[in-house]
Amino acid sequence: MDAFTDVPEDFELPAGSVKKGEKYFKKYCAQCHSIYPDNRITRGGSLQLGPTMFNIFGRASGLEEIQNKQATDRVDNVLWLDGPLMNYMKNPRVMAQGRIQMNFRGIPDFQTRVDIVHYLRTLDWSNEEVANPPPKPASFAPARWMEAMNQEKKKTPPPPPQEDE
């Protein structure tokens, strides 16, 4: 396709920065995509509309559950490797033949996309921090308050016993 002239069929991912990729992921992707296996969102103001990016590399498109249940049109018949990820981030509507629900125009800068792909490759089971996140906090505010109070009680030592005079 003419839209993807910077990513040939035999594309090999050039050098990139995982650290910069994480920063760019937060800027461009994290508002709708999680990095965790259970698709949790941990940033305020984020929406859990898209599929998790955990273990995206090598996964077939359309397999992960999404929160946006009205989104019936999804990318089909794509194996998410370096080239397709680069192309999708450049122009998602062309890659998906117009069938996407995202309000995302794409990332034209080649190196930014390379860095994000390097970061996406780290989101797998070998990444302990991402693969085993702490338990989700309760979504019910009073339950969160009670949980915090119980944690505080565990931290506070009991008062010393009173001596009888």
pLDDT of residue 76: 66
DSSP string, 8-61: -TT-------HHHHHHHHHHHTTTT---STT----STT----SPP-TT-TTPBT
Between 57 and 158, the higher pLDDT residue: 57
Q: What is the pLDDT of residues 132-142, one digit of tens each?
A: 887 766 666 77
pLDDT tens for each residue of 4-33: 677 777 788 899 999 999 999 999 988 888
pLDDT computed for residue 40 by the predictor? 77
Contacts of 23 (CB under 8 A, 6+ apart): none
pLDDT at 164: 67
Tokens at 75, concatenated: 């990318």
What is the per-residue pLDDT across 52-103, written as a single tens digit (0 to 9) for each?
Answer: 888 888 888 776 665 554 555 566 677 888 988 998 888 887 776 666 667 7
CA angle in degrees (0–180, nearest 5) for 76-62-67: 135
The predicted model scores a pTM of: 0.72
Structure-model confidence comparison of residues 148 and 54, the more confident one: 54
